[in-house]
Protein backbone atom coordinates (compact mmCIF):
# COMPACT_ATOMS: atom_id res chain seq x y z
CA UNK A 1 0.00 0.00 0.00
CA UNK A 2 2.78 2.42 0.93
CA UNK A 3 4.64 1.87 -2.32
CA UNK A 4 1.46 2.32 -4.33
CA UNK A 5 0.65 5.60 -2.64
CA UNK A 6 4.12 7.00 -3.04
CA UNK A 7 4.14 6.08 -6.72
CA UNK A 8 0.78 7.74 -7.20
CA UNK A 9 2.08 10.83 -5.43
CA UNK A 10 4.91 11.05 -7.92
CA UNK A 11 2.50 10.73 -10.83
CA UNK A 12 0.31 13.47 -9.42
CA UNK A 13 3.30 15.68 -8.78
CA UNK A 14 4.49 15.26 -12.34
CA UNK A 15 1.11 15.91 -13.87
CA UNK A 16 0.61 19.01 -11.78
CA UNK A 17 4.10 20.24 -12.41
CA UNK A 18 3.50 19.94 -16.13
CA UNK A 19 0.20 21.73 -15.91
CA UNK A 20 1.95 24.54 -14.08
CA UNK A 21 3.50 25.54 -17.38
CA UNK A 22 0.56 27.68 -18.43
CA UNK A 23 0.82 29.85 -21.55
CA UNK A 24 2.30 33.28 -22.07
CA UNK A 25 -0.12 35.68 -23.72
CA UNK A 26 0.22 35.83 -27.46
CA UNK A 27 -0.44 39.60 -27.53
CA UNK A 28 0.92 42.20 -25.13
CA UNK A 29 -0.41 45.65 -24.36
CA UNK A 30 2.38 48.15 -25.20
CA UNK A 31 1.71 49.86 -21.87
CA UNK A 32 1.80 46.61 -19.87
CA UNK A 33 4.06 46.19 -16.86
CA UNK A 34 6.86 43.87 -18.02
CA UNK A 35 8.65 41.57 -15.55
CA UNK A 36 10.87 39.67 -18.00
CA UNK A 37 11.80 39.49 -21.66
CA UNK A 38 12.95 36.49 -23.64
CA UNK A 39 14.56 37.79 -26.81
CA UNK A 40 11.97 40.25 -28.04
CA UNK A 41 9.03 38.59 -26.28
CA UNK A 42 7.86 40.13 -23.00
CA UNK A 43 6.20 38.50 -20.01
CA UNK A 44 3.76 40.83 -18.29
CA UNK A 45 3.27 41.11 -14.57
CA UNK A 46 -0.42 40.33 -15.09
CA UNK A 47 0.39 37.04 -16.84
CA UNK A 48 3.10 36.21 -14.31
CA UNK A 49 0.84 36.78 -11.31
CA UNK A 50 -2.00 34.86 -12.92
CA UNK A 51 0.40 31.96 -13.41
CA UNK A 52 1.52 32.06 -9.79
CA UNK A 53 -2.09 32.01 -8.64
CA UNK A 54 -2.78 29.05 -10.90
CA UNK A 55 0.22 27.10 -9.60
CA UNK A 56 -0.69 27.86 -5.98
CA UNK A 57 -4.20 26.58 -6.60
CA UNK A 58 -2.84 23.40 -8.18
CA UNK A 59 -0.52 22.76 -5.24
CA UNK A 60 -3.45 23.10 -2.85
CA UNK A 61 -5.47 20.74 -5.02
CA UNK A 62 -2.66 18.21 -4.90
CA UNK A 63 -2.42 18.37 -1.11
CA UNK A 64 -6.16 17.77 -0.84
CA UNK A 65 -5.95 14.87 -3.31
CA UNK A 66 -3.08 13.26 -1.42
CA UNK A 67 -5.09 13.62 1.79
CA UNK A 68 -7.92 11.75 0.10
CA UNK A 69 -5.66 9.02 -1.32
CA UNK A 70 -3.92 8.39 1.99
CA UNK A 71 -7.15 8.43 4.00
CA UNK A 72 -5.81 11.40 5.93
CA UNK A 73 -2.38 9.94 6.67
CA UNK A 74 -0.18 12.48 4.86
CA UNK A 75 2.87 10.91 6.44
CA UNK A 76 2.71 8.35 3.62
CA UNK A 77 3.59 11.11 1.14
CA UNK A 78 5.44 13.39 3.57
CA UNK A 79 8.27 14.34 1.22
CA UNK A 80 5.99 15.66 -1.49
CA UNK A 81 3.55 17.36 0.88
CA UNK A 82 6.31 19.18 2.77
CA UNK A 83 7.78 20.35 -0.53
CA UNK A 84 4.41 21.77 -1.55
CA UNK A 85 4.00 23.47 1.82
CA UNK A 86 7.41 25.09 1.52
CA UNK A 87 6.55 26.45 -1.93
CA UNK A 88 3.20 27.81 -0.77
CA UNK A 89 4.81 29.53 2.22
CA UNK A 90 7.60 31.12 0.20
CA UNK A 91 6.00 33.21 -2.57
CA UNK A 92 9.29 34.67 -3.79
CA UNK A 93 10.86 31.24 -4.28
CA UNK A 94 7.76 29.91 -6.00
CA UNK A 95 7.59 33.05 -8.13
CA UNK A 96 11.18 32.54 -9.27
CA UNK A 97 10.40 28.95 -10.28
CA UNK A 98 7.25 29.98 -12.14
CA UNK A 99 8.98 32.80 -14.02
CA UNK A 100 11.76 30.44 -15.07
CA UNK A 101 9.09 28.05 -16.37
CA UNK A 102 7.54 30.85 -18.39
CA UNK A 103 10.90 31.80 -19.85
CA UNK A 104 11.64 28.17 -20.73
CA UNK A 105 8.28 27.88 -22.45
CA UNK A 106 9.02 30.83 -24.72
CA UNK A 107 12.42 29.40 -25.54
CA UNK A 108 10.84 26.03 -26.32
CA UNK A 109 8.24 27.56 -28.60
CA UNK A 110 10.86 29.50 -30.52
CA UNK A 111 13.04 26.42 -30.91
CA UNK A 112 10.08 24.29 -32.02
CA UNK A 113 9.27 26.89 -34.65
CA UNK A 114 12.88 26.87 -35.82
CA UNK A 115 12.80 23.07 -36.04
CA UNK A 116 9.38 23.20 -37.70
CA UNK A 117 7.80 20.78 -35.29
CA UNK A 118 4.55 21.00 -33.39
CA UNK A 119 2.29 18.60 -31.52
CA UNK A 120 -0.73 17.19 -33.27
CA UNK A 121 -4.27 17.94 -32.12
CA UNK A 122 -4.54 14.28 -31.13
CA UNK A 123 -1.43 14.54 -28.93
CA UNK A 124 -2.80 17.62 -27.20
CA UNK A 125 -6.16 15.95 -26.58
CA UNK A 126 -4.38 12.87 -25.25
CA UNK A 127 -2.47 15.01 -22.75
CA UNK A 128 -5.69 16.55 -21.52
CA UNK A 129 -7.51 13.22 -21.26
CA UNK A 130 -4.62 11.56 -19.42
CA UNK A 131 -4.60 14.37 -16.89
CA UNK A 132 -8.31 14.16 -16.14
CA UNK A 133 -8.29 10.36 -16.20
CA UNK A 134 -5.71 10.49 -13.43
CA UNK A 135 -7.78 12.85 -11.34
CA UNK A 136 -11.15 11.19 -11.85
CA UNK A 137 -10.05 7.56 -11.90
CA UNK A 138 -12.03 7.09 -15.11
CA UNK A 139 -10.38 5.42 -18.10
CA UNK A 140 -9.54 7.80 -20.95
CA UNK A 141 -11.94 6.04 -23.32
CA UNK A 142 -14.84 6.53 -20.91
CA UNK A 143 -14.24 10.17 -19.91
CA UNK A 144 -16.57 11.73 -22.47
CA UNK A 145 -19.53 9.55 -21.48
CA UNK A 146 -18.99 9.58 -17.71
CA UNK A 147 -21.27 12.19 -16.14
CA UNK A 148 -19.36 12.37 -12.86
CA UNK A 149 -16.05 12.82 -14.67
CA UNK A 150 -17.49 15.59 -16.83
CA UNK A 151 -18.89 17.32 -13.75
CA UNK A 152 -15.45 17.14 -12.09
CA UNK A 153 -13.80 18.58 -15.21
CA UNK A 154 -16.22 21.51 -15.34
CA UNK A 155 -15.70 22.20 -11.64
CA UNK A 156 -11.92 21.95 -12.12
CA UNK A 157 -11.97 24.59 -14.86
CA UNK A 158 -14.22 26.88 -12.86
CA UNK A 159 -12.01 26.67 -9.79
CA UNK A 160 -8.87 27.18 -11.84
CA UNK A 161 -10.33 30.26 -13.49
CA UNK A 162 -11.41 31.70 -10.16
CA UNK A 163 -7.99 31.13 -8.59
CA UNK A 164 -5.91 32.48 -11.48
CA UNK A 165 -8.08 34.82 -13.49
CA UNK A 166 -7.11 32.89 -16.62
CA UNK A 167 -9.67 32.18 -19.31
CA UNK A 168 -10.56 28.57 -20.08
CA UNK A 169 -8.81 28.79 -23.45
CA UNK A 170 -5.63 29.89 -21.72
CA UNK A 171 -5.85 27.03 -19.25
CA UNK A 172 -6.35 24.62 -22.15
CA UNK A 173 -3.03 25.81 -23.56
CA UNK A 174 -1.52 23.93 -20.62
CA UNK A 175 -2.00 20.67 -22.48
CA UNK A 176 -0.75 22.07 -25.78
CA UNK A 177 2.39 23.28 -24.03
CA UNK A 178 3.07 19.92 -22.47
CA UNK A 179 2.51 18.16 -25.78
CA UNK A 180 5.02 20.59 -27.28
CA UNK A 181 7.58 19.58 -24.64
CA UNK A 182 6.89 15.97 -25.58
CA UNK A 183 7.74 16.43 -29.26
CA UNK A 184 10.82 18.48 -28.41
CA UNK A 185 11.96 15.81 -25.98
CA UNK A 186 11.55 13.09 -28.59
CA UNK A 187 13.48 15.10 -31.18
CA UNK A 188 16.38 15.99 -28.87
CA UNK A 189 16.51 12.82 -26.77
CA UNK A 190 16.58 10.65 -29.90
CA UNK A 191 20.20 11.76 -30.30
CA UNK A 192 21.22 10.20 -26.99
CA UNK A 193 23.64 7.26 -27.20
CA UNK A 194 22.35 3.71 -26.99
CA UNK A 195 25.75 2.22 -26.20
CA UNK A 196 28.78 3.29 -24.19
CA UNK A 197 32.39 2.38 -23.61
CA UNK A 198 32.51 0.14 -20.55
CA UNK A 199 35.62 -0.44 -18.46
CA UNK A 200 36.72 -3.45 -16.40
CA UNK A 201 39.44 -2.19 -14.08
CA UNK A 202 40.93 -2.54 -10.65
CA UNK A 203 42.60 0.05 -8.49
CA UNK A 204 44.48 0.84 -5.32
CA UNK A 205 43.10 3.95 -3.64
CA UNK A 206 45.23 6.01 -1.31
CA UNK A 207 42.59 8.25 0.19
CA UNK A 208 42.90 11.88 1.14
CA UNK A 209 40.79 11.09 4.21
CA UNK A 210 41.43 7.67 5.75
CA UNK A 211 44.08 5.03 5.05
CA UNK A 212 44.22 1.41 6.28
CA UNK A 213 47.68 2.37 7.54
CA UNK A 214 47.00 5.70 9.21
CA UNK A 215 50.72 6.47 9.50
CA UNK A 216 51.02 6.85 5.72
CA UNK A 217 50.16 9.97 3.75
CA UNK A 218 48.47 9.38 0.37
CA UNK A 219 51.79 9.98 -1.37
CA UNK A 220 53.63 7.55 0.92
CA UNK A 221 50.85 4.98 0.39
CA UNK A 222 51.24 5.25 -3.39
CA UNK A 223 55.01 4.87 -3.21
CA UNK A 224 54.66 1.83 -0.95
CA UNK A 225 52.20 0.23 -3.40
CA UNK A 226 54.43 0.97 -6.38
CA UNK A 227 57.46 -0.55 -4.67
CA UNK A 228 55.58 -3.73 -3.78
CA UNK A 229 54.21 -4.09 -7.31
CA UNK A 230 57.68 -3.48 -8.76
CA UNK A 231 58.94 -6.23 -6.47
CA UNK A 232 56.57 -8.71 -8.10
CA UNK A 233 53.71 -8.85 -5.55
CA UNK A 234 50.30 -9.57 -7.10
CA UNK A 235 48.12 -6.49 -7.59
CA UNK A 236 45.28 -8.04 -5.61
CA UNK A 237 47.49 -8.58 -2.55
CA UNK A 238 48.73 -5.00 -2.54
CA UNK A 239 45.17 -3.69 -2.99
CA UNK A 240 43.93 -5.84 -0.10
CA UNK A 241 46.62 -4.40 2.19
CA UNK A 242 46.76 -0.73 1.14
CA UNK A 243 43.58 0.32 -0.73
CA UNK A 244 41.23 2.59 1.17
CA UNK A 245 38.31 1.46 -1.02
CA UNK A 246 36.68 -0.93 1.45
CA UNK A 247 34.13 -2.04 -1.14
CA UNK A 248 36.79 -3.50 -3.48
CA UNK A 249 39.91 -4.12 -1.38
CA UNK A 250 38.83 -7.63 -0.41
CA UNK A 251 38.49 -8.60 -4.07
CA UNK A 252 41.83 -7.18 -5.10
CA UNK A 253 40.57 -3.72 -5.99
CA UNK A 254 38.39 -5.10 -8.81
CA UNK A 255 35.65 -2.64 -9.76
CA UNK A 256 34.06 -4.97 -12.31
CA UNK A 257 32.49 -3.61 -15.50
CA UNK A 258 31.45 0.06 -15.20
CA UNK A 259 30.23 2.43 -17.96
CA UNK A 260 32.74 5.20 -18.54
CA UNK A 261 30.28 7.94 -17.57
CA UNK A 262 29.83 6.36 -14.14
CA UNK A 263 33.52 6.66 -13.26
CA UNK A 264 34.71 9.64 -11.24
CA UNK A 265 36.42 12.49 -13.11
CA UNK A 266 40.11 11.82 -13.48
CA UNK A 267 39.70 8.06 -13.21
CA UNK A 268 37.46 8.00 -16.28
CA UNK A 269 39.89 9.93 -18.47
CA UNK A 270 42.81 7.76 -17.38
CA UNK A 271 40.93 4.47 -17.80
CA UNK A 272 39.63 5.41 -21.25
CA UNK A 273 43.09 5.48 -22.82
CA UNK A 274 45.29 3.40 -20.50
CA UNK A 275 47.13 0.43 -22.10
CA UNK A 276 45.44 -2.81 -21.13
CA UNK A 277 46.95 -4.59 -18.11
CA UNK A 278 49.49 -1.81 -17.46
CA UNK A 279 49.45 -0.20 -14.01
CA UNK A 280 49.20 3.57 -14.40
CA UNK A 281 49.23 6.37 -11.90
CA UNK A 282 49.11 7.93 -9.52
CA UNK A 283 45.86 9.38 -10.88
CA UNK A 284 44.28 12.06 -8.72
CA UNK A 285 40.52 12.27 -8.19
CA UNK A 286 38.31 13.86 -5.55
CA UNK A 287 38.68 10.63 -3.55
CA UNK A 288 42.46 10.49 -3.47
CA UNK A 289 45.33 9.01 -5.47
CA UNK A 290 44.84 5.83 -7.51
CA UNK A 291 46.96 3.21 -9.16
CA UNK A 292 44.80 1.82 -11.98
CA UNK A 293 44.96 -1.33 -14.04
CA UNK A 294 42.51 -1.60 -16.95
CA UNK A 295 41.84 -5.28 -17.62
CA UNK A 296 39.26 -5.05 -20.41
CA UNK A 297 37.46 -2.37 -22.38
CA UNK A 298 34.55 -2.68 -24.79
CA UNK A 299 31.50 -0.83 -26.09
CA UNK A 300 28.31 -2.29 -24.65
CA UNK A 301 24.60 -1.51 -25.19
CA UNK A 302 23.08 0.65 -22.49
CA UNK A 303 20.38 -0.87 -20.31
CA UNK A 304 16.88 0.55 -20.70
CA UNK A 305 17.34 2.44 -17.44
CA UNK A 306 20.67 3.91 -18.56
CA UNK A 307 19.22 4.84 -21.95
CA UNK A 308 16.38 6.67 -20.23
CA UNK A 309 18.87 8.52 -18.05
CA UNK A 310 21.03 9.38 -21.06
CA UNK A 311 17.99 10.81 -22.84
CA UNK A 312 16.99 12.87 -19.81
CA UNK A 313 20.52 14.16 -19.33
CA UNK A 314 20.82 15.15 -22.97
CA UNK A 315 17.52 17.02 -22.90
CA UNK A 316 18.50 18.85 -19.69
CA UNK A 317 21.81 19.82 -21.30
CA UNK A 318 19.99 21.04 -24.40
CA UNK A 319 17.69 23.22 -22.30
CA UNK A 320 20.63 24.63 -20.32
CA UNK A 321 22.39 25.50 -23.57
CA UNK A 322 19.20 27.05 -24.92
CA UNK A 323 18.98 29.32 -21.87
CA UNK A 324 22.69 30.12 -21.98
CA UNK A 325 22.42 31.23 -25.61
CA UNK A 326 19.27 33.30 -25.15
CA UNK A 327 18.86 36.94 -24.24
CA UNK A 328 16.93 36.85 -20.96
CA UNK A 329 16.27 40.00 -18.95
CA UNK A 330 14.25 40.56 -15.79
CA UNK A 331 12.95 43.80 -14.38
CA UNK A 332 14.59 44.91 -11.13
CA UNK A 333 11.19 44.73 -9.43
CA UNK A 334 10.05 41.44 -10.98
CA UNK A 335 9.51 39.96 -7.48
CA UNK A 336 7.29 42.80 -6.27
CA UNK A 337 3.89 41.80 -4.89
CA UNK A 338 4.06 38.13 -5.89
CA UNK A 339 0.67 36.64 -4.95
CA UNK A 340 0.38 34.64 -1.74
CA UNK A 341 -3.21 33.62 -2.48
CA UNK A 342 -4.94 31.24 -2.61
CA UNK A 343 -3.50 30.18 0.72
CA UNK A 344 -3.56 27.21 3.01
CA UNK A 345 -6.62 28.61 4.75
CA UNK A 346 -8.67 27.58 1.71
CA UNK A 347 -8.10 23.89 2.49
CA UNK A 348 -10.81 21.94 4.36
CA UNK A 349 -10.40 21.73 8.15
CA UNK A 350 -9.61 18.00 8.10
CA UNK A 351 -6.78 18.57 5.61
CA UNK A 352 -5.38 21.41 7.72
CA UNK A 353 -5.49 19.16 10.78
CA UNK A 354 -3.61 16.43 8.90
CA UNK A 355 -0.98 18.97 7.82
CA UNK A 356 -0.53 20.16 11.39
CA UNK A 357 -0.11 16.57 12.54
CA UNK A 358 2.43 15.91 9.78
CA UNK A 359 4.55 18.92 10.71
CA UNK A 360 4.42 18.00 14.38
CA UNK A 361 5.76 14.56 13.49
CA UNK A 362 8.44 16.10 11.27
pLDDT in tens, 4-32: 333 344 344 444 444 444 444 445 566 67
Same domain, 139 and 48: yes
Quote the pLDDT of residue 213: 65
Same domain, 140 and 31: yes
With a cut of 70, list the residues of the chain below it in pLDDT. Answer: 1-31, 211-213, 362
Quote the pLDDT of residue 30: 64
How many structural domains does the chain have?
2
Q: Are 53 and 164 in contact (CB under 8 A)?
A: yes
Same domain, 211 and 143: no
Same domain, 62 and 115: yes
Same domain, 9 and 117: yes
Other C-beta atoms lying within 10 Å of the C-beta of residue 323: 14
Same domain, 164 and 261: no
**pLDDT, tens digit (0-9, with 9 covering 90-100), for 70-114:** 999 999 999 999 999 999 999 999 999 999 999 999 999 999 999
Q: Before 292, cis peptide (omega within 30)? A: no
Residue that terminates a domain, selected from 278, 301, 324? 301
Same domain, 100 and 43: yes
b/e burial code for range 71-97 (CB count within 10 A of at least 16 → b): eebbebbbebbeebbebbeebeebbeb
Quote the pLDDT of residue 122: 95
Quote the pLDDT of residue 54: 92
- Residue closest to 340 by CA, chosen among 93, 162, 167: 93
Domain limits at 355?
2-191+308-361
What pTM value is reported for the model? Answer: 0.72
Quote the pLDDT of residue 164: 85
Same domain, 220 and 132: no
CATH number of 258's domain: 3.10.50.40
Same domain, 14 and 125: yes
Quote the pLDDT of residue 19: 42
Same domain, 118 and 13: yes
Amino acid sequence: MRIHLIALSVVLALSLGLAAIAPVSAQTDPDADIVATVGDTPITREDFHARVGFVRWQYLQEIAKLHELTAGNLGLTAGRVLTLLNSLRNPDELGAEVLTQMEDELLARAEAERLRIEPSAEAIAARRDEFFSLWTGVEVEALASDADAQAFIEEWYASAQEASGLEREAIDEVFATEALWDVLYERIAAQAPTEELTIHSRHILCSFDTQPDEDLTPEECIRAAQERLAGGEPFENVAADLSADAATADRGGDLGWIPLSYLVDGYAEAAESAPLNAVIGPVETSQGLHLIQVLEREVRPLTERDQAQARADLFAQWLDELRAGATLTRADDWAADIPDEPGLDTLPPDVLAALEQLETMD
